[in-house]
Amino acid sequence: MNDDDELWVDSADRRTALSALAEHRDEEHLTTAEHERRRGLVRVAQTRADLRALFADLPSPHPLIGEERDAWQASPGSRPVAGTPEGRSNGTGVFLGSGGLIVLGALAAGWWVPAIVLGCLVVVVTVLFGAR
């Protein structure tokens, strides 16, 4: 039992629990009906112990709820880098920056039409690959 088991849950705790339940459903640890039942229990959970109890009979990993999550987020080097949800950069900024330099170079050289085409190409590729 954790020191914070009797603390009230917050929206971050609920999001963490719902996400973990979805992963367990996807891994077929839960049936669809059991997943929905537990989702309802997440919505009415009052304490962090209520949320942790939903994962007691499921295999690891269990979600980090409350102080566990807060400690993980506060430890140096543990914060994800801005970028993708996994915390990794997808290189969109580098591509957009280097493409922007090429377009500026074309403009400086007086090549208006190629600069416009290159600019459009950079934007389209950045949007397509940045959405992943």
Give the 3-state secondary structure of residue 126.
Answer: helix
- pLDDT single digits (tens) 23-60: 999 999 999 999 999 999 999 999 888 988 988 898 88
Nearest residue to 123 via CA among 100, 90, 106: 100
Domain ranges, residue 56:
11-74
The neighbouring-strand residues paired with 47 are: 8
- Residues 61, 105: one domain? no
Q: How far apart are CA 53 and CA 46, in angstroms?
A: 12
Query: Is 70 exceeded by the pLDDT of residue 109?
Result: yes
- Structural domain total, the chain: 2
- Residues 67, 31: one domain? yes
In a domain, 5, yes or no: no
Instruction: Assess contact for 99 and 128: CB atoms under 8 A.
Output: no
pLDDT of amino acid 96: 60
- pLDDT single digits (tens) 46-103: 988 898 898 889 888 777 776 555 555 555 554 544 444 555 555 556 556 666 666 7
- pTM, two decimal places: 0.49
